[in-house]
Amino acid sequence: MTPNWDDMRVFLAVAREESLSAAGRQLKIDPATVGRRIARLEASLEAPLFTKSQQGYLLTAPGERLMEHGLKAEEAMRAAVGAMAGTSKTLSGQIRIGAPDGSANYLLPQVCAKISDANPDLDIQILALPRVINLSRREADMAVTVSAPTAGSLLVQKITDYKLHLVATRDYLTSYPAIRTIQDLSGHRMIGYIPDMIFDRELDYLVDIGVDRVALASNSVSVQLRQATLGTGVCVAHDFTLPFHPNLQKILTDQVSLTRSFHLVRHQGDQRNERLNRFAQALSQGIREEVERLEAQVSP
């Protein structure tokens, strides 16, 4: 019998989450229903799609083959929904943004709050991960990145430049030897990324500055800034984060001033998706304005 196309939507969620419960949460339906929908799909296709256990639902070989086609169906359905968006005043549904946690923590909350105010029926999800978001696998609808990706069928647009400077607390600076030159840094504790976990070359600030040892490291910008705010060392901070940490001040600004850029990266298949286009436009403009507003609050 003809499979129910909507069962394919459920199938994709289970394939991704590898769990009836998790898929049920994502789809907002009962796990019992998810299980029944999978059973119905398997019956109509006469093929076992998962190996089943309480530890998880894992795709079989036929299930893998089905998933390939299911992803195409999903893309078409997304585009279909997107094509309808132009007819509505406000956006609805759910959109997920991937972002490095610097922008995820310090920019996106404000930007997305405004977008949400203007589009009450839209659910926005900020995926803050210290790694490259895989848009091909649809981990998110779009991603804010620092480096512009060059490979894959992706759309990339530059959003804005932003500045970074070395920072430390005033207490730290008065308690430790003066920092007048870059060479003086070698006598200080540096805070930064975990070197072998840096997932974007453009985030490797300290190498640019000439620092080769990081005593306090984290893969999370907010953790790094919290450590700096405690007065435990010197780190590189985005200017737009400084209004949130008034006890941090810039140092060596005449010698070290870094500039990076945010890019918005999207799946090429979404190019004509009006719904995502509208959201992307609002997001880019929001980020641009927020960076400008926050950097204006930081003394030169």
Partner DNA sequence: CCTGTCCTTTGCATTTTTGCAAAACATCTT
Partner DNA sequence: AAGATGTTTTGCAAAAATGCAAAGGACAGG
Residues of this chain that interact with DNA (CB under 7 A) are 19-22, 29-33, 35-37, 40, 52-57
**Applying CB under 8 A, does 122 fall inside the site for a copy of itself?**
no
Task: Take residue 121 and report the two structure tokens written for it.
Answer: 């029926």
Q: Measured between alpha carbons, how far is 184 from 188 in angstroms, rounded to an integer?
A: 8
User: Whole-number minimum distance, CB 47 to a copy of itself, in Å?
Assistant: 5
Nearest distance in Å: CB 53, DNA: 7
80 lies in the site for a copy of itself, by CB under 8 A: yes
In the structure encoding, which two tokens stand for residue 160, read together?
């804005």
Contact pick of 14, 38, 59, 79 for a copy of itself (by CB under 8 A): 79
The interface partner of residue 5, options being DNA, a copy of itself, none and the CB cut-off 5 to 8 Å by kind, is a copy of itself
Q: Determine contact, residues 264/148, Cβ cutoff 8 Å.
A: no
In terms of CB distance, is 51 or 186 closer to a copy of itself? 51
> CB of 243 within 8 A of CB of 131?
no
State the chain's maximal CA–CA distance in angstroms.
78
Q: In this chain, which stretch among 60-68, 173-181, 186-194, 248-256 interacts with a copy of itself, using CB under 8 A?
A: 60-68
- Which partner from the list DNA, a copy of itself, none does 70 bind, CB cut-off 5 to 8 Å by kind? a copy of itself
> Scanning residues 92 to 111, which ones bind a copy of itself (CB under 8 A)?
92-94
Name which of 13 and 209 has its Cβ closer to DNA: 13
Minimal distance, residue 79 CB to a copy of itself, in Å = 5
Confirm if 126 and 97 have CB atoms less than 8 A apart.
yes
Q: Which tokens go with 150?
A: 């060059």
Unique residue bearing structure tokens 């985030």? 203
**Among 294, 278, 256, 243, residue whose Cα is nearest residue 119:** 278
Q: How far is the CB of 270 from a copy of itself (least distance, A)?
A: 12
Cα separation values, 107 from 128, 206, 262, Å: 12, 23, 11
Q: Is 83 in the site for a copy of itself (CB under 8 A)?
A: yes
Tell how far CA 64 is from the center of its chain.
27
Tell me which of 22, 77, 155, 230 binds a copy of itself, using CB under 8 A: 77
If the CB atoms of residues 101 and 274 are measured against a copy of itself, the closer one turns out to be 274
Least distance between a copy of itself and beta carbon 37 (Å): 11
With beta carbons less than 8 A apart as the criterion, state whether 234 and 170 touch. no
DSSP-assigned letter for residue 4: P
Torsion of CA 127, 229, 187, 190, to 10 degrees: -10
Nearer to a copy of itself, 8 or 280 (CB): 8
d(CA 106, CA 249): 17
Give me the residues that bind a copy of itself (CB under 8 A), please: 1-9, 45-47, 62, 65-66, 68-70, 72-73, 75-77, 79-81, 83-84, 87-88, 92-94
